Amino acid sequence: MSFAGDVKAELCRGKLGDKSAAQAEACGVLLYGNRFSRELVKVVTESPAFAQRLPALFRKAFGLTFDEKGDPAVPGKRIFSITDRKKLAQLWEVCAFDPSGPTHHINFGMLEDPPCRLAFLRGAFLAGGSVTDPQKGYHLELATTHLRVSRELRALLLEMGYAPKETTRKANYVTYFKQSEAIEDFLTAIGAPVAAMELMNAKAEKLLRNGVNRRVNCEAANVDKTVDAALEQRRAIQALREAGRLEALTPKLREAAQLREAHPELSLAQLAALCDPPVTKSSLSHRLRKLIQLSQEGE
């Protein structure tokens, strides 16, 4: 199952609220489902948990049953529909909030209490929401075919302290979050704290992995730098030897040359500790630079 499927399964394990909360959740489902008109209600889902929750939700919210529920024995998408005129009129009056007009609206009158607001958001996510696997990225969205509903949802989320973004995709109006913290808060609020914790853990793993990668890359770069410097120093020493000038150098320079040739793999700090007596890293670096300079003067 996908991460989004896991989230919906977790949401559906939560108990149905009282009648007011159930109506708010059901309205979220209708306004973010596949079709909600005076002629037809259609909700299509691939989530077995959501398919199991839907009939109980509509019974508690409105005392209604679906005219079609799909075959639970058939895997894949299940279609829930209502075509009965009386049922549709009841749903339209409560959830479309504009019995006389063709435009859908959010019924803010039923969302005055925080539990009802969260129930509405939960229903909207179950019907028209998706969330990306946090191992791949951070993106949560709610998509509806109703422009005014999308705008009103954004106003609702802003009032609740969220800062969603909006876009359009084909015939859908999409409200979405890209920040991991906002997604964590949203999932926790609507009833999926386990999924929110999984997202936080994935983010922590990414941060740790990125930190390790940066450290490894930095260490690899330092190793490459050390090897390149050692090669340049050994070439300089060899050039001085072939020119018969190595033995004429000062004891300190000869010691630096001998140590570098004997230990080409060591860093400056390690090499400096082998001097007799030990010297600082900067002192040894100065001696090795002097060897390179002398070799170049003889070219």
Give the pLDDT score at 140: 94
How far is the C-alpha of 152 from the C-alpha of 162, rounded, in Å? Answer: 13
Give the pLDDT score at 189: 92
**Other Cβ atoms closer than 10 A to 282:** 9
Token pair listed for 27: 């309205």
Token pair listed for 63: 């005392």
To 5 degrees, how large is the angle CA 280–CA 283–CA 288?
125
Q: Average of pLDDT values for 114-143?
A: 92
Identify the three-state secondary structure at position 43.
strand
Q: Average of pLDDT values for 204-229?
A: 71
Give the pLDDT score at 213: 67
* Closest to 169 in 3D by CA, of 143, 140, 148: 143
Give the pLDDT score at 240: 84
Of the pLDDT bands very low, low, confident and very high (cuts 50, 70, 90), residue 71 is: confident
| pLDDT of 212 higher than 80 | no
Q: pLDDT (tens digit, 9 = 90+) per residue, 107-123? A: 888 898 999 999 999 99
- Mean pLDDT lowest among 73-87, 154-168, 224-238: 224-238
How far is the C-alpha of 176 from the C-alpha of 186, rounded, in Å? Answer: 11
| pLDDT of 99 higher than 60 | no
Q: Average of pLDDT values for 90-95?
A: 85
Q: Average of pLDDT values for 40-67?
A: 92
Q: pLDDT (tens digit, 9 = 90+) per residue, 270-286? A: 888 988 888 898 888 88
Give the pLDDT score at 42: 92
- For the chain, count helices (H), then strands (E): 11, 7
Give the pLDDT score at 208: 66
Give the pLDDT score at 58: 93
Backbone angles phi, psi at 40, to 5 degrees: -160, 140
Give the pLDDT score at 82: 93
* Closest to 288 in 3D by CA, of 241, 229, 239, 244: 229
Give the pLDDT score at 291: 85
Percent of the chain with pLDDT over 70: 92
| pLDDT of 298 higher than 60 | no
Q: Average of pLDDT values for 221-250?
A: 81
How far is the C-alpha of 92 from the C-alpha of 99, rounded, in Å? Answer: 6
* Closest to 155 in 3D by CA, of 145, 146, 164: 164
Contact between 37 and 104 (Cβ < 8 Å) = no
Give the pLDDT score at 103: 74
Give the pLDDT score at 101: 61
User: What SS3 string covers 107-146?
Assistant: CHHHHCCHHHHHHHHHHHHHHHEEECCCCCCCCEEEEECC
Contact between 83 and 40 (Cβ < 8 Å) = yes
Percent of the chain with pLDDT over 90: 39
**Other Cβ atoms closer than 10 A to 74:** 8
For residue 173, list its beta bridge partners. Answer: 144, 168
- The number of CA neighbours under 13 Å toward the Cβ of 282 is 0
How far is the C-alpha of 250 from the C-alpha of 258, rounded, in Å? Answer: 12
Of the pLDDT bands very low, low, confident and very high (cuts 50, 70, 90), residue 24 is: very high
Place of tokens 């909006």: 166
Q: Average of pLDDT values for 12-21?
A: 91
| pLDDT of 234 higher than 80 | yes
Q: Cα 247 from chain centroid?
A: 64
- Name the DSSP letter for residue 263: -
Give the pLDDT score at 125: 95
| pLDDT of 102 higher than 70 | no
How far is the C-alpha of 281 from the C-alpha of 268, rounded, in Å? Answer: 6
Give the pLDDT score at 120: 95
Average pLDDT, the chain: 86
How far is the C-alpha of 144 from the C-alpha of 124, rounded, in Å? Answer: 9
To 5 degrees, how large is the angle CA 198–CA 179–CA 10?
35
